Chains A and B, each alone.
Chain A
């Protein structure tokens, strides 16, 4: 199966922007300009582009920490996402949330929860909310493999399937929860096997292959939107960054994923092979994307820090509560 040239090119554009965003962010983090803990989506670009391209602004998605790419592709101005990651007043959360919320309901982004896997039940509730409102809107929850250890994994899937709520489970299985390989902490390393007991349709795809990831997501969204209940996609992929530990994975594995099975490289090769774009076209695209990201970084760097008086704002909604 091949994707239409125009679609392929648009998905590749998303992937390049995500890659450049993360590389720029990582560089600034190393320079000490980005506070806190950094989790990037480097290596997840095909999966994230596939998810992003198949949801609409009126759906609600619940991303996890490696989904900066989803935030920018959903349509939140990139400079506001970047500024939030820099903790600045101009950020999408006014610098209060940082990397984890990044929410923008106007584009369907309902925010990250830093407690891994808690979004599974929140997204279940959003899907229930859409169902009760008789809309064709759906909810999507994007979690890593680590979330499968939570009790919320069970509570969410059990109820979502029993009540047939419109929820898409996007499981980004990059093989490791921080340093722990999935297969050493679960009876299986293939998480889609869990879906069977919940009587939920499920598919496992190569999350580095944009065509496979896109097609699986498109079919799953169609299923969920038609009112047939939840759907489970496991995207098998890999992440570049070792979370705290630095690189701890076998050299051979690192070489394979960074050199031979990098989603951005693979998509680029396909574009060239199919004659959809030339080297010159793609170099121009790279340049354009880099300039865009550097512009966002400049905006973030030159933005003011939040005013200290803002610290007590929005603790409660519509209630003035004195901070003593």
Chain B
């Protein structure tokens, strides 16, 4: 084990998979010479050459659409879309091409692609470079959406994402790139579609993912001082998400807060809440509480952005409400 950042863990996963399988190749804007905006692909062009690590023009549709085509002839592309906001430019390739291939062709063609992208706010990126767009894609059958909260999961999930025959939208939160934890240098997998209990507790469950896992764990620490026992479920995969782990936790605690950085309407928190209401209503001792971004664009100004994005205090307040 070695202490690694998320950037190093992801870089290690790509390196391992490229060494193991020459069908794996990378494409994206400024990922080769520069190594990507956040350094995730740094050093890989030097190691694997310009054929397998390719700088593209600003052509999101060709990056993702091209990945779908290359996958159809046996390649395993891992492509980068610089910011999640720009997924609008390759929405068609993800939604109408990649996610429907296996179904429309009745299992005779698949789309094993990974689309990596930097997501999330908190950096004065402004309304078009700060969004959490998972809600756009929650409604797309056939797509896998991965959302790791720490370097260990990021590496294991990246390896699973490259190995699956399904198209994966791999979200990387900007606030987590420099997060650190112990990560094995060898190959290991974290399964797709499986949540994990990041902290066990008995009185209230917080279901969340990515950056807000860190905030939820801090809330759990704080509330433990007051004798309140909080369980934190880290979804890790948003589509298909692990209903079993969530419902098991709610069965135990009977109280639940669902937290997501997306706007409140139509995001993952809505879906998780709906399934708990439908299938776990009998467990509930209090109404489900959602903690989300405001239903506004994300402003540039530092104090305004803080109002929009959910944080530790919002989660803590929601937990207290759930306990009433």
Contact = CB atoms under 8 A, between A and B. Distances in A.
Interface of A: 60, 62, 92-94, 96-97, 100-101, 103-105, 110-111, 113-115, 118, 120-130, 132-133, 137, 139, 151-152, 155-156, 158-159, 162-163, 313-319, 321-322, 324
Contacts of A126: 69-70, 72-73
B82 to A, nearest CB: 16
B42 interface: no
A317 B166 CA distance: 6
20 contacts: A60-B73, A93-B105, A96-B104, A97-B105, A104-B108, A122-B93, A124-B62, A127-B69, A128-B66, A129-B70, A139-B73, A152-B65, A155-B59, A314-B106, A315-B103, A316-B102, A316-B166, A317-B166, A318-B164, A324-B275
Contact of B59 (A115, A123, A158, A316): A158
A64 to B, nearest CB: 14
B193 A152 contact: no
Most chain B CB within 10 A, of A96, A104, A121, A315, is at A121
Contacts of A113: 96-97
B141 interface: yes
Interface residues of B, number: 49
A101 B164 contact: no
Given A93-B104, A113-B96, A318-B165, A121 B240 contact: no
Contacts of B103: 96-97, 314-315
A317 B164 contact: yes
B57 A122 contact: no
B180 interface: no
A111 B54 CA distance: 26
A316 B145 CA distance: 12
B303 interface: no
B192 A317 contact: no
B93 A118 contact: yes
Most chain A CB within 10 A, of B64, B70, B74, B278, is at B70
A112 to B, nearest CB: 9
B79 to A, nearest CB: 10
B148 to A, nearest CB: 18
A277 B71 CA distance: 45
Contact of B106 (A97, A121, A133, A322): A97
A319 B164 contact: yes
Interface in B32-85: 51-52, 54, 56-57, 59, 61-62, 64-75, 77
A129 B59 contact: no
A127 B72 CA distance: 10
Contacts of A127: 69
B72 A105 contact: yes
A315 B73 contact: no
Contacts of B142: 315-316
Given A159-B56, A317-B164, A125 B67 contact: yes
B107 interface: yes
Contacts of B193: 319, 321
Q: Shortest 9 CB-CB distances between A and B: which pairs?
A: A125-B69, A121-B65, A125-B66, A129-B70, A155-B62, A317-B165, A129-B73, A122-B69, A126-B69
Contacts of A104: 108
Interface in B129-157: 141-142, 144
Nearest to B65: A121
